[in-house]
Amino acid sequence: MSVTQISLDGVWKLTAGPQTAAAPRQPAALDAAGWLTIPATVPGNVELDLMAAGRLPELSVANNIFLLREFESWDWWYRRSFATPALAAGQRCELGFEGIDCLANIWLNGVQIGSTDNMLIAHRFDVTEHLNRAGDNELVVRIESPVLASRRHIPEPHESAFPTNYEGQSIRKAPHMYGWDIMPRLVSAGLWRSVRLEIIEPTRFRSVYFATLAIDATKAAASATVLLDWNFDTERLNVDDLTLRIRLADEHGVLHESTPAVFGTSGRSQLKLANVRPWWPRGRGEAHLYDLQLELLDPAGNLLAANHERVGIRTIVLERTDVTNPAGEGEFVFLVNGEKTFVHGTNWVPLDALHARDRQHLEAVFALMVDVNCNMVRCWGGNVYEDHAFFDLCDRHGVMVWQDFALACAIYPADEAFVATMRHEAEQVITKLRNHASLALWAGNNEIDEAYEWGGLKQDPNLDRMSREVLPQVVRRLDPLRPYLPSSPYHSAAFVKAGGDGLRQAPEQHLWGYRDQYKHEYFYQSAAHFVSEVGYHGCTDRRTLERFLDADHLWPWKDNDQWLTHATIPHPRETYRYGYRIPLMANQIRNMFGLEPDNLDDFILASQIFQAECKKFFIERMRCGKWQRTGVLWWNLRDGWPIISDAVVDYYGIKKLAYEYIRRVQQDVCVMVAPPAQGAPRLVAVNETREGQAGQVRIRDVDGGVLYDGGFSIAANGIVDLGALPLAMRPAMWLIEWTLADGTRAMNHYLAGGTPFDYPQYRKWLAALKIPTDVGPQRM
């Protein structure tokens, strides 16, 4: 029996004006205020409504984003009416907001029924007693300015943030909204996810928890033990005569069916299962899912309540040490179903700066992630929490999810009120997402352990209350079998005591040093077993630049305020922290090719070549070091706004050259030339599948003869060194082509020799790489 839902999405009325002392505070005073009133779309953001009404231009063009500064101090009032739903005996009605951004008061028929203070979670209110039985109902939502509200918070000395981000410290909005190096400052407001009425039955399931306790996947017919907890709510005084039916099935038939005794409204079953089809990440096997159905029946067999989940049977364990060293004496590796799994994936950043549009982008962007064969995605802590639709895709396609809590690059308040807000947020998010097979890890935050070094006080990150106390306690309570990492990167007490050298001692690292030099020794010095952020800029395609820059600002990039705006400065006066990002691309081109292009098209292509070769290098360095190195999550897949960035696909879906290079080097079976810090390069083949692989590989110099021609054989989940290759006597491109025993053909390449490379020569080499026509600049 599913919950009956009545959508309140669609057209609302939006009234708005400056939040002065004279601004209305009650719905009755709203019409007399004489404020702007326009139609609004729900789900939506107020900026989208202002653009649709002609009150704002397209915000992504030129410097228009700065027009929003005025609206950061406005009040936003949403209004609509709806008919009273029919309620049967015992039923109740809840009003649900899947996402309110952010500080809101809610009235129904003139009575305030609740308030909200968190954009990132859902909010529900029992409105049964407030419904109008004689006619329609008037729903009003007032959203106040988070920027003005933040002024009530006095940051304590232990807190810190980037200069334009202090206003987000005490407000639970997505951190990127106050300005980030990958997103504009767009503070926003709105009913950004659906609004609905839900008819609540007198008997209903409140909680279902499914987890795999153990699995043996070594045999063709796997076995497993799973845990199932349930809780239901009912108005019945006697529950002894109720029957619970558990059914676990797939397209092949019923795996398990039982009817455990009901002794109360809560219970637990441990199910021992045979002939299990495990859930595996991409490349390791099928991401198999089962339908889990719970039904609660009365003595006559009538269905009182039902709960349906799609679940996968698998275990995921993170084995890690607090410290490592250049000799590799440490660990950071994911074990799936007891087997080490090498991770190659990406970071998931906002799909849109205006989050009401997230859902329209989701499937197309996710398809890109599957196309480049990511087996893990890190949901970055500066973002919102993705909804079930995202996790359903990850479940089906075998993409493991590393989920940060939405805290990033700042030291947040530690007072009781903020702690309580964060505890409630974590409880709701964990309970919502914990049954997804793809969910592999909870991480306390993004780079806050490192932020303790940035803030001026040089504090010990192990004093951080949120990541060391509050969040792990909630994880242990509500999702006790899921791994938890306090911060990314994590600087434990043992790490701090050992000296705290992030490059040489941290098992998991974000590598952002020396971003203008190709294959800098910095990357060879890293002792990381796992790199969860690393990336390089690549200039956005001309077609996209022409969409968001005025024609007279397309070129040159120097002294160009619109290039800076899209780089992305959060305020016209804040150029120090973000102003380096455009000259960085010119430096990268100069370091690789020994020149600086004098026209836009060559600047774009040269920049994209540099980015593509560097990102390929990062992935190959990690994969060629398997198992000393165990994973890389590069930064990042796609832009969430029309900008100039590290992404390999821009906001409009145009793929940079790096996209194809990454797609080739993330194949399950891949032959690569190991990037040498010094000495001769070596030919390496890796196999991420659970079956042995064999084939033939041939390497030829694009401008010369054959360098290697031979067979190879790789054990399941293995790596093999095929020997040294000759030192390149000149800059060259080597084409690597291989054929597997099943006939699969694939290609990779290696850029041999040192910088500078000849730019016209590289352009000729591109033809040999057979790049798809939808990848890279139009004028390659």
Burial degree of 377 (CB within 10 A; 0-12, 13-18, 19+): buried
Q: Which residues contact 465 (CB under 8 A, 6 or more apart)?
A: 414, 419
Per residue in 394-409, pLDDT (tens digit) is 999 999 999 999 999 9
Burial degree of 156 (CB within 10 A; 0-12, 13-18, 19+): exposed
Percent pLDDT > 70 in the chain is 99
Could you tell me the two tokens for 438? 């793809």
Tokens 């990779």 correspond to what residue? 748
Could you tell me the two tokens for 3? 């919950």
Cβ–Cβ under 8 Å, residues 490 and 508: yes
d(CA 432, CA 485) in angstroms, rounded, equals 19
Domain with CATH 2.60.120.260 in the chain: 4-200
Q: Where do runs of H (alpha helix) occur along 306-374? A: 358-371
d(CA 129, CA 279) in angstroms, rounded, equals 46
Q: Which residues contact 448 (CB under 8 A, 6 or more apart)?
A: 407, 408, 409, 410, 411, 412, 461, 464, 467, 487
- The DSSP code sequence of 209-272 is EEEEEEEE-SSSSEEEEEEEEEEEE-S-S--TT-EEEEEEEETTEEEEEE-----SSEEEEEEE
d(CA 172, CA 421) in angstroms, rounded, equals 8
Regions of the chain with pLDDT less than 70: 1-2, 576, 779
Cβ–Cβ under 8 Å, residues 642 and 651: yes
Cβ–Cβ under 8 Å, residues 243 and 332: no
**Predicted local confidence at residue 1, as pLDDT:** 47
**Predicted local confidence at residue 457, as pLDDT:** 82
**Predicted local confidence at residue 779, as pLDDT:** 65
| Of 314, 337, 313, nearest in space to 256 by CA | 313
Q: Which residues contact 60 (CB under 8 A, 6 or more apart)?
A: 547, 548, 641, 642, 651
d(CA 514, CA 522) in angstroms, rounded, equals 7
Alpha carbon distances (Å) from 13 to 36, 99, 730:
11, 18, 68
How many CB atoms sit inside 10 A of residue 709's CB? 10
Q: What phi, psi does 623 have (nearest 5°)?
A: -65, -35
Could you tell me the two tokens for 547? 């969409």
Domain with CATH 2.60.40.10 in the chain: 204-311
Cβ–Cβ under 8 Å, residues 206 and 231: yes
Angle among Cα 215, 435, 92 to the nearest 5 degrees reads 145
Tokens 């590989």 correspond to what residue? 697
**Pairing relation of β-strands 100-101 and 10-18?**
unpaired
What is the CATH code of the structural domain delimited by 672-769?
2.60.40.3110
What is the CATH code of the structural domain delimited by 4-200?
2.60.120.260
- Is this prediction's pTM over 0.95? yes
Could you tell me the two tokens for 25? 């505070």
Could you tell me the two tokens for 530? 């796992």
Q: What phi, psi does 267 have (nearest 5°)?
A: -165, 170
Tokens 């099943």 correspond to what residue? 742
d(CA 91, CA 369) in angstroms, rounded, equals 43
| Of 63, 129, 134, 139, nearest in space to 97 by CA | 139
Cβ–Cβ under 8 Å, residues 571 and 164: yes
- The DSSP code sequence of 169-192 is TTSBS-GGGB--SSS-B----EE-
**Predicted local confidence at residue 2, as pLDDT:** 59
| Of 98, 101, 74, nearest in space to 168 by CA | 101
Which runs of E-coded beta strand occur in 8-127?
10-18, 36-42, 74-82, 92-97, 100-101, 103-108, 111-117, 123-126
Cβ–Cβ under 8 Å, residues 351 and 361: yes
Residue burial 279-297, b: 16+ Cβ < 10 Å; e: rest: bbbbbbbebbbbebebbbb
d(CA 62, CA 184) in angstroms, rounded, equals 12
Task: Catalogue the long-range contacts made by 774-777 (C-beta closer than 8 Å, 24 or more residues apart).
Answer: 774/655, 775/655, 775/656, 775/657, 775/659, 775/660, 776/605, 776/608, 776/655, 776/656, 776/657, 776/660, 777/541, 777/542, 777/601, 777/604, 777/605, 777/608, 777/657
**Predicted local confidence at residue 576, as pLDDT:** 65
| Of 749, 695, 745, 684, nearest in space to 718 by CA | 684
d(CA 638, CA 651) in angstroms, rounded, equals 6
Domain with CATH 2.60.40.3110 in the chain: 672-769
Q: What phi, psi does 33 have (nearest 5°)?
A: -75, -20
Cβ–Cβ under 8 Å, residues 324 and 507: yes
* Rg value, the chain, Cα: 28
How many CB atoms sit inside 10 A of residue 393's CB? 19
* Domain 204-311 superfamily per CATH: Immunoglobulins (2.60.40.10)
Angle among Cα 231, 235, 237 to the nearest 5 degrees reads 95
Q: Which residues contact 264 (CB under 8 A, 6 or more apart)?
A: 239
The size of the chain, in residues, is 780
d(CA 55, CA 38) in angstroms, rounded, equals 10
- The DSSP code sequence of 420-467 is HHHHHHHHHHHHHHTT-TTEEEEES-BSHHHHHHHTSS---GGG-HII
d(CA 699, CA 706) in angstroms, rounded, equals 6
| Of 401, 420, 230, nearest in space to 312 by CA | 401
